Amino acid sequence: MGVLSFVQYFVDLGPAVMLPIVIFIVALCLGQSIGKSLKSGISIGIGFVGIGLVISLMLNNLAKAAVAMSENFGISMNIIDIGWPGSSPMTWASDIALVAIPIAIAVNLVMLALRMTRVVNLDIWNIWHFAFTGALVHIATGSYTLGVVGVIIHAAFAYKLGDWFAPIAEEYFGLEGIALPHGTTGYLAPISVPINCLIDKIPVIKDININPGQIEKRFGVIGDPAIMGAVMGVMIGVLAGYDVRGILTLGIQMASVIILMPQVVKHIMGGLLPVSEAAKVMLQKRFKNSKFYIGLDCALLLGDPVVVTASLLFIPITIFLAAIIPGNQILPFGDLATIGFFVAMAVGVHGGNLFRTIITGSVVMSLTIWISNQTIGLHTILAKNAGQLTDPSAKIASLDQGGSPITYILTQVFNTTNATGLICVGGFYIACVIFTYFWYKKGQQKMVVAEVREGQKGMAE
């Protein structure tokens, strides 16, 4: 078996098997015993199997409700969103995919050596996001070299985003020493920062704060997460035109999702924390006065009740946005169950404020729907090259990577077909990224000042 064949075999194992193996090997390298390393790996595997089951519960039931909702309101869209479950296999089958893993790892190592990032990325499975960008650039330009450049740029950008939002992962989500250099949560996070700062300047609006804790405090048992999940499931069932049995069933299923998701995430955290601590100790010994973050899957954020609540709320919101965006051909479907990935970091930036998250999420989903329409042609060619389209007239799309701003910008920069779209959408997104950079630097300065003052206080005592 050649190296590339081995890589393909390893990738085909899927995240629930591949990541435990990676964590087991890393834990051993960090000096943990075989028993502890094995326990960490298996705990992570259990967590990812659990997340897969909960997401399947959402996908199998919410996606059907979404289609029924669209038909109920006479919304006609002729291209189905296949979601990341459909996009990732065809990406791994592309010419770029097999070199994407070593390239992404090399980019990470070079950036660590040059002190350009503090993220040590262990999220090997989600390198498929970087590979997707490279594959579409390759298709758009016909240049394999530019496709590889696309992988490099997306990987480097993701690691920097991991740095910038690591404080949010620590402070809001309680993920000490962990970063999320993820290809969906990462690249959509910068949109939330300027929106949050803008809302802070609007009288009255800036004071609106809706979160599950406040709802439970104000409305008592109605604000309990399980009951909120049930209520949202019932509402979606009503909008879908279900009968009483269907409505009540969907309500119980969504209550189950909102309760089960944090439980399965606990298994992942139980496996990761010992490895994360061991990695921090080793890295800090070799690189004194430096703090490193372990880069992991943003599935860790799905345990937050506001993220789960926002995920459910954005089912009807996304359908509505898809119906009113001019020229949209895509019916949201495959990615509806994982909208939490799109808005997870926004929840942290907004401090768990569901009102602000809905505002940011609406911008995010509108942007990804528009972009995914622009990449239909490239996405369809990717599917045909992977042998996943038997009907030559069929077209496919996805909101997840098909709606990625970084992928759209790179394909347009290297092969411009829509200059107006590149200027407007690309300009908006780049402005958000620049704003986020200065927001991060300002936050770092505040942390340094706070540490100095704490040190001075300690000396005085």
Q: What is the mean pLDDT of residues 70-78?
A: 72
**CA-based nearest residue to 364, from 351, 350, 379:** 350
pTM summary value: 0.81
Report how far residue 200's alpha carbon sits from residue 210's, in angstroms, rounded to the nearest whole number. Answer: 15
Res 459: pLDDT = 44
Report how far residue 372's alpha carbon sits from residue 396's, in angstroms, rounded to the nearest whole number. Answer: 10
Within 8 A by CB and 6+ apart from 321, the residues are: 362, 365, 366, 369
Question: Does the structure show a pLDDT above 80 at 98?
Answer: no
Exposure of 427 by Cβ count < 10 A (0-12 exposed, 13-18 middle, 19+ buried)?
A: exposed
Res 440: pLDDT = 94
Give the domain ranges of the chain. Answer: 3-453
Res 451: pLDDT = 46
Report how far residue 347's alpha carbon sits from residue 354's, in angstroms, rounded to the nearest whole number. Answer: 7
Sign of the four-CA dihedral 377, 64, 347, 200: positive
Q: What is the mean pLDDT of residues 110-139?
A: 90
Quickly state the pLDDT bin for 376 (edges 50, 70, 90): very high
Q: Which residue has the higher pLDDT, 387 or 346?
A: 346
pLDDT tens, 99-108? 888 899 899 9
Res 449: pLDDT = 46
Query: Could you tell me the two tokens for 292?
Result: 């490193």
Quickly state the pLDDT bin for 364 (edges 50, 70, 90): very high
pLDDT tens, 10-52? 666 766 787 788 778 878 887 888 888 888 888 888 887 887 7
The amino acid at 425: V
Report strand pairing: 119-121 vs 79-80. Answer: unpaired
Q: Which residue has the higher pLDDT, 71 or 458?
A: 71
Report how far residue 273's alpha carbon sits from residue 175's, in angstroms, rounded to the nearest whole number. Answer: 9
pLDDT tens, 333-344? 778 777 888 999
Query: Could you tell me the two tokens for 134?
Result: 């490279």
Query: Could you tell me the two tokens for 461?
Result: 């005592």
Q: What is the mean pLDDT of residues 389-416?
A: 88
Res 456: pLDDT = 43
Report how far residue 18's alpha carbon sits from residue 135's, in angstroms, rounded to the nearest whole number. Answer: 22
Three-class DSSP category at 297: coil
Report how far residue 382's alpha carbon sits from residue 408's, in angstroms, rounded to the nearest whole number. Answer: 15
Quickly state the pLDDT bin for 452 (edges 50, 70, 90): very low
Query: Could you tell me the two tokens for 314?
Result: 């954005």
Res 434: pLDDT = 97
pLDDT tens, 253-284? 888 877 787 777 677 777 777 777 777 677 76
Quickly state the pLDDT bin for 455 (edges 50, 70, 90): very low
Res 175: pLDDT = 86
The string of DSSP letters for 407-422 reads: HHHHHHHHS-S-HHHI
